[in-house]
A = this chain, B = another copy of it.
Amino acid sequence: MTTKIMAFGEVMMRLEASGYKKLEQTRLLEYSFTGTGVNVMAALSKYGYQTSLLSKLPETSVGNAALSHIRSLGIASDSIVRGGEQIGIYFLEHGFGVRPTAVTYTNRKESSFCQSSFDDYDLEKSLLDVSLIHFCGISLAVSENTRNLTIKVAEKAQEMGIVVSFDCNYRPKLWNATGVNARSYYERMLTLCDICFMTEKDAIYILGMETAENELTKQIEDLLVKVLEKYQIRTIAGTIREKKRETEQTIQGFIIQNKTITFSRKHTLTILDRIGAGDAFASGILHGKIASLSQEDTIEFATAAGVLAHTTSGDSPVSTGSEVLGLVHQSSADLER
């Protein structure tokens, strides 16, 4: 039977100015629906898994369009509760060269999801037969309500024996706006999760940890092995980005299991659309775990998935498993020549 995977989180509308225009230069916007959960599930459904989303959407034409879009990505929508009135929106103006991409959020806190309560969801039914559920740190940040909701859903999932995946996705700006200290919430999620996406920065800035190492890869190994042990996490993964020059970056993935760190080969990036690339990486790690790939194969697959997500339009990854493997092997082929 196909493995069932779920994500819990917000669905947002993405409204982007065409080409490389600023909003004021165009009267046409292209739209789609997104969110960490949507993106990770979209990628996993491309790899052949049965995926679904646990969220809440308004009963309006905008909510209907969101539902239609989510389904088109191959994600089941039966666990999406309907109600409330609004959906978070973000406006996207693509940058070019030295000009950065600009994002304007609107209406996030008033969204159906952000105002949903634990009782809105029928978890017994929704989580039935689910093997793995993915959470995102942004849900912790948005509001007091989603903060508590996220933890309660994660607790319920753990209780039901479901593998819990958590992407730290720490956004200082959102936390500062709330005036709440992020640490205790993150620590709760870390004890609940089996798979965690984080970097050395999260260990330092959220958990207040320190390291005596100087080199970046050493810092990562030192800090995150400690995190792995302290919070009894089975897998920690993340990426290292380096900016080479104006238009050239490199990306390298790492994965830690059983206190051992493995790095992927380093890819040079060509960026079409940066947003959602971290979610593609996460989806690759989850695939590696569920399909019981080796630690090496897992990190190569996940990093290649992340790299490809920079070369496709939209937040949600659209590369199939065989396209990702194509990049994994092309590279090794390149090395063999």
Q: How far is the CA of A268 from the CA of B22 in the complex (A)?
A: 22
Chain B residues with Cβ under 8 A from A318's Cβ? 22, 24-25
Known contacts A107-B106, A311-B99, A312-B99; A68/B74 CB under 8 A: yes
Bound-state Cα–Cα, A107 to B72, Å? 25
Q: Does A184 contact B (CB under 8 A)?
A: no
Q: How far is the CA of A30 from the CA of B28 in the complex (A)?
A: 5
Stretch from A85-93, A150-158, A213-221, A224-232 that touches the partner: A85-93
Whether A60 sits at the interface, judged by CB under 8 Å, is yes
A74 — which chain B residues lie within 8 A by C-beta? 67-68, 71
Contact stretch, chosen from A13-21, A283-291, A293-301? A13-21
Chain B residue with the shortest CB-CB distance to A76:
B76
Q: Verify if A173 is at the interface (C-beta below 8 Å from B).
A: no
Contact (Cβ within 8 A) B28 A104: no
Question: Is the CB–CB distance between B98 and A308 below 8 Å?
Answer: yes
- B25, B95, B323, B326: the one contacting A313 at CB < 8 Å is B25
Could you tell me the distance in whole angstroms from the C-beta of A250 to the nearest C-beta in chain B? 11
Task: Give A146-199 interface residues, CB cut-off 8 Å to B.
Answer: none
Q: Find out whether the CB atom of A68 lies under 8 angstroms from the CB atom of B24.
A: yes
A269 to B247, CA, bound (A): 10
Contact of A106 among B68, B85, B96 (CB under 8 A): B85
Copies in the complex: 6
Contact status B106-A23, CB under 8 Å = no
Known A-B contacts A68-B72, A270-B98, A318-B22; the reply to A106 vs B62 at CB < 8 A is yes
- Contacting pair B272 A245 (CB below 8 A): no
What distance in Å separates the Cβ of A98 from its nearest Cβ neighbour in chain B?
6
Q: Which residue of B lies closest to A46 (CB)?
A: B64
**Among A21, A25, A310, residue most surrounded by chain B Cβ atoms (within 10 Å):** A25
Shortest CB distance A20–B (Å): 6
Contacts of A85 on B, CB cut-off 8 Å?
106
In the complex, what residues of B have CB within 8 A of residue A97's CB?
Answer: 269-272, 310-311
Given A23-B62, A71-B71, A104-B61, are A98 and B327 also a contact pair (CB < 8 Å)? yes
Are B268 and A245 within 8 A (Cβ)?
yes
- Contact among B20, B69, B313 for A21, CB-based, below 8 A: B313
Q: How far in angstroms is the closest Cβ of chain B from A49? A: 13
Cross-chain contact of A27 among B32, B246, B270, B310 (Cβ < 8 A): B32
- A145 CB → nearest B CB, Å: 16
A24 to B74, CA, bound (A): 11
Instruction: Tell me if A211 counts as interface (CB < 8 A to partner B).
Output: no
Neighbouring B residues of A104 by C-beta, 8 Å = 60-62
Give Cα A165–Cα B4 distance, bound, in whole angstroms. 33
- A29 located at the interface, meaning its Cβ lies under 8 Å from any Cβ of chain B in the complex: yes
Identify the interface centre among A96, A308, A310: most chain B CB within 10 Å of its CB: A96
Partner of A89, one of B64, B106, B268: B106
23 A-B pairs within 8 Å (CB atoms) are namely A19-B313, A20-B311, A20-B312, A22-B61, A23-B62, A24-B61, A24-B65, A24-B68, A24-B72, A27-B27, A62-B106, A67-B74, A68-B72, A68-B73, A71-B71, A71-B72, A71-B74, A86-B106, A86-B107, A89-B107, A98-B307, A98-B311, A107-B107
